[in-house]
Structure 1
Amino acid sequence: MATVGLSESLFERGQICGACFELRCVDDLRWCIPGTSIILAVTNFCPPKGHCNPPNKHFVLPIEAFEKIAIWKVGIMPVQYRRIKCRREGGIRFQVSGSSIFISVLITNVAGAGDVTAVKIKGSRTGWLPMGRNWGQNWHVNADLRNQPLSFEVTSSDGQTIASYNVAPKDWNFGQTFEGSKQFEA
């Protein structure tokens, strides 16, 4: 699956990171490749300038993805898009970073809606602690949770919640990525 950057009008200040779209070229039989579409996962932001200026709704595609729906020579094409459910292999991934006074977690590989609207973290010696969104799907909390197994509760934009218990073992370290055993339905 290709990744895509979105203009500010679509990016929703990073809240839509992880969501999936189906895109196809429209309105130009000379440059569009008929009957083709691509599936994309939102991973980036297109800074407001040129085609990415509000209120434009713009997708910044890698060349390889663009060439599946249109001839690259044209550069910019009108597209038709729709949000779709994401299909992912394996469980939700949690990449842990931070320091002794805070934990930051990047959440990836989320199926279903694909984007996350709320996260809670729990150590073996704490209750559930709500995490705040830092940017995109980076979440943080001011807490020292070292030397405790970590559990996560993730809520997607369609309102579904999954709890992944003891995803990180007691001896986890910053910089490691852990995979939960559960996944949202695609």
Structure 2
Amino acid sequence: MELNFKHQLGLLCLTLLLPALCSSQDSFTCSRATYYGSPDCYGNPRGACGFGEYGKTVNDGSVAGVSWLWKNGSGCGACYQVRCKIAELCDENGAYVVVTDYGEGDRTDFIMSARGYSKLGRNTYASAELLKYGVVDVEYRRVPCRYGGYNLLVKVHEHSRNPHYLAILILYIGGTYDVTAVELWQEECQEWRRMRRAFGTVFDAENPPRGDIKLRFQLSGNAEQYWVQSKNVISGDWEAGAVYDSEIHLG
């Protein structure tokens, strides 16, 4: 009876420790991943982050939709290292994916583009075998996004109409930062005005200021949160599709 009790106690302790072990080694967290198909293996340009074609081809199309990591849109643009756990098939470095969409699967945290999912494999044969699995156990961690030659960019969203409605899309969020808020400068009031997060990484404002528009961004990451102001302005004659370089480099 005593041995049986110790055995049960040991099993209980192991069960309680498993989540901690799974999430503490090299800061990886255990989960599952699957993929969604597309004719060209790229991502979905209609994703919930609002990235459009950028969300299809950024990071060479190695992108993913996520569930709770979406963070009500502030998780858009985050980068993750994802590696699967089938020793004979999986590459030890795994795949690096950019979050461009929201998605829920079969107890999965990642629904990857086929292009990204195939990079989990150690070679062409292994990648093909993983695609047959459909869903695999993985471990993942947040890693810095690195966009050589790109600062944080602001794109005027296609639904914008000068001068009555301005929506912006934020691209190339480097490092491990999340953009949690955006404000524009109201010259006549001498104060910053909060823009609404419309969805994903799209922020908007009715009746924006006339003339050039100054923006600042609230960044969250590395256990800190702070504001940084764009070094450039959105010109007063802005129109849908225009892209502005903030000259803010996040690396």
Shorter-chain-normalised TM-score: which range? Answer: 0.7 to 0.9
2:204 alignment partner, one of 119, 136, 140: 140
- Kindly indicate whether residue 134 of structure 2 is the aligned counterpart of residue 102 of structure 1: no
The equivalent of 2:144 in structure 1 is 85
The answer to whether the 8 Å contact 2:95/2:119 transfers is yes
Which amino acid in the other structure matches residue 176 of structure 1?
A: A
The answer to whether the 8 Å contact 1:18/1:114 transfers is no
- Could you tell me how far 1:123 is from its partner in structure 2? 6.0
- Higher RCO structure, 1 or 2 (CA under 8 Å, sep 6+): 1
- Kindly indicate whether residue 100 of structure 2 is the aligned counterpart of residue 43 of structure 1: yes
The equivalent of 2:239 in structure 1 is 173
Q: Which has the higher strand share?
A: 1
**Matches of 2:120 and 2:194, distance apart in 1:** 42
Q: Which has the higher helix share?
A: 2
**Matches of 1:162 and 1:112, distance apart in 2:** 15
**Matches of 2:78 and 2:132, distance apart in 1:** 28
**Matches of 1:68 and 1:165, distance apart in 2:** 37
Q: Of the two, which has the highest radius of gyration? A: 2
The equivalent of 1:60 in structure 2 is 111
**Matches of 1:137 and 1:115, distance apart in 2:** 10
TM-score (norm 1): 0.83
The equivalent of 2:91 in structure 1 is 34
**Matches of 1:132 and 1:63, distance apart in 2:** 33
The equivalent of 1:5 in structure 2 is 65
**Matches of 2:188 and 2:243, distance apart in 1:** 21
TM-score (norm 2): 0.63
1:152-183 deviation per Cα after TM superposition (whole angstroms, max 9, x unaligned): 11122221432113332233223311111121
Structure 2: unaligned runs, 5 residues or longer? 1-58, 122-126
- Alignment RMSD (CA, Å): 2.1
**Matches of 1:107 and 1:13, distance apart in 2:** 15
The equivalent of 1:155 in structure 2 is 218
Task: Work out the percentage of aligned pairs sharing the same amino acid.
Answer: 25
The equivalent of 1:17 in structure 2 is 76
- Could you tell me how far 1:75 is from its partner in structure 2? 1.6
2:193 alignment partner, one of 126, 129, 152: 129
Q: Number of residue pairs matched?
A: 175
The answer to whether the 8 Å contact 1:102/1:140 transfers is yes
Question: Where has structure 1 moved over 4 Å in runs of 4 or more?
Answer: 123-126
The answer to whether the 8 Å contact 1:118/1:156 transfers is yes
The answer to whether the 8 Å contact 1:14/1:136 transfers is yes
1:52-76 deviation per Cα after TM superposition (whole angstroms, max 9, x unaligned): xxxx342111112111113322221
The answer to whether the 8 Å contact 1:162/1:183 transfers is no
- Could you tell me how far 1:6 is from its partner in structure 2? 0.7
